[in-house]
Amino acid sequence: MPIDRPRDVQVFPVATDTRVLRSRTWDRLKFEIEYALQKGTTANSYLIEGDKIALLDPPGESFTEIFLTALKERIEPKTIDYVILGHINPNRAVTIEALLEIAPQITFVTSNPGAISLRKILEAPELKITVVKGEETLDLGRGHLLEFIPTTNPRYPDQLCTYDSKTQVLYTDKLFGAHVCGDQVFDEGWTVYNEDRRYYFDCLMAPHARQVAVALEKISDKPARIYATGHGPLVRYSLKELIAQYKEWTKQQSNQELSVALIYASAYGNTATIAQAIARGITKAGVGVESINAEFAEPEEIKTAVQQAAGFIMGSPTLGGHAPTQIQTAMGIVLANTDKTKLAGVFGSYGWSGEAIDLLENKFRNAGYNFGFEPIRVKFKPTDAIIKTCEETGTDFAQALKKAKRVRKAKQTGSTSETARTEQALGRIIGSLCVVTTKQEELAGAMLASWVSQATFNPPGLTVAVAKERAIESLLHTGSKFVLNILQEGKHIGLMKHFLKPFAPGEDRFVDVSTEEAQNGCPILTDALAYLECQIDNRIECGDHWLVYAIAERGKLLQSEGVTAVHHRKSGSHY
SS (H, E, C) 11-27: EEEEECCEEEEEEEECC
Distance of CA 24 to the CA centre of its chain: 20
Q: Does 526 score more than 50 pLDDT? A: yes
pLDDT at 18 over 90: yes
- In the predicted model, is pLDDT for residue 574 greater than 80? no
By 3-state DSSP, what share of the chain in percent is helix, strand and coil, each rounded to 5?
35, 30, 35
Round to whole Å and give the CA distance between 494 and 195: 36
Residue 239 in this model has a pLDDT that exceeds 80: yes
**Residue 247: Cβ within 10 Å count:** 15
HSE-up (13 A, CA, CB side) for residue 185:
15
From CA 348, how far away is CA 426, in angstroms rounded?
44
Please give the pLDDT value at position 37. 85
- For residues 429 and 453, is the Cβ–Cβ distance under 8 A? no
Residue 444: predicted pLDDT: 94
DSSP codes joined into one string, 168-211: TEEEEETTT------S--B-TTGGGGHHHHHHHIIIIIGGGHHH
Q: Work out the widest C-alpha separation in the chain, in whole angstroms.
A: 80
- 394: closest CA among 512, 291, 485? 291
Q: For all residues of the chain together, what is the average pLDDT? A: 93
Structural contact between residues 312 and 291, judged by C-beta atoms closer than 8 angstroms: no
* DSSP secondary structure letters along 206-246: GGGHHHHHHHHHHHTTS--SEEEESBSSBBSS-HHHHHHHH
Query: What count of Cα atoms within 13 Å lies in the side-chain half-sphere of residue 255?
Result: 6
Q: What is the pLDDT of residue 36?
A: 84
Q: Please state at what angle helix 355-366 crosses helix 325-337, rounded to 10 degrees.
A: 10
Which domains does the chain show, CATH number per domain? 8-253 (3.60.15.10), 256-409 (3.40.50.360), 425-557 (2.30.110.10)
Q: What pLDDT is stored for residue 352 in this prediction?
A: 84
| Angle separating helix axes 299-308 and 325-337, nearest 10 degrees | 40
pLDDT score for 559: 92
Alpha-carbon gap, residue 46 to 33, rounded angstroms: 26
Helix (H) or strand (E) holding 463: strand 461-467
C-alpha span between 232 and 535 (Å, rounded) = 24
Q: Is the pLDDT of residue 1 over 50?
A: no
Pairing relation of β-strands 169-173 and 226-229?
Answer: parallel
The Cβ of residue 514 has, within 10 Å, a number of other Cβ atoms equal to 12
User: Helix (H) and strand (E) counts for the chain?
Assistant: 13, 26
SS3 462: strand
Contacts with 112 (C-beta within 8 Å, 6 or more apart), sequence order? 131, 132, 133, 158
Per-residue model confidence (pLDDT) at position 391: 96
Q: Are 550 and 464 in contact (CB under 8 A)?
A: yes
The DSSP element (H or E) to which 445 belongs, if any, is: strand 443-449
SS3 state at 65:
helix
CB of 268 within 8 A of CB of 90?
Answer: yes
pLDDT tens per residue, range 261-304: 999 999 888 999 999 999 999 999 999 999 999 999 999 999 99
Q: What is the pLDDT of residues 464-514, one digit of tens each?
A: 999 999 999 999 999 999 999 999 999 999 999 999 999 999 999 999 999
* DSSP element (H, E) containing 47: strand 41-49
3-state secondary structure of 442: coil
* Segment 316-361, tens digit of pLDDT: 999 989 999 999 999 999 999 999 999 999 999 998 888 999 999 9
> What mean pLDDT is predicted for residues 115-141?
90
Spell out the residues 6+ positions from residue 123 whose beta carbon is closer than 8 angstroms to its own. Answer: none
What CA–CA distance (Å, rounded) separates 160 from 171? 9
pLDDT score, position 405: 87
Give residues with Cβ within 8 angstroms of 480, minimum separation 6: 438, 440, 535, 536
pLDDT confidence tier of residue 540, bands split at 50, 70 and 90: very high
For 116-142, b/e burial (b = at least 16 CB within 10 A) is bbbbebbeeeeeebeebeeeeebebee
Q: How far apart are CA 389 and CA 498, in angstroms?
A: 20
Question: Residue 192, Cβ neighbours under 10 Å: how many?
Answer: 14
Model's pTM, two decimal places?
A: 0.89
Dihedral Cα 293, 295, 297, 300, nearest 10 deg: 110
- Count of CB atoms within 10 A of residue 550's CB? 27
pLDDT in tens, 180-216: 999 999 999 999 999 999 999 999 999 999 999 999 9
CA angle 104, 99, 138 (to 5 degrees): 70
Distance of alpha carbon 170 from alpha carbon 153, whole angstroms: 18
Burial class of residue 411 in the structure, from the number of CB atoms within 10 Å of its CB (0-12 exposed, 13-18 middle, 19+ buried) = exposed
User: If you average pLDDT over residues 70-91, what whole number do you get?
Assistant: 95
- 144-166 confidence digits (pLDDT tens): 999 999 999 999 999 999 999 99
Q: How far apart are CA 181 and CA 257, in angstroms?
A: 37
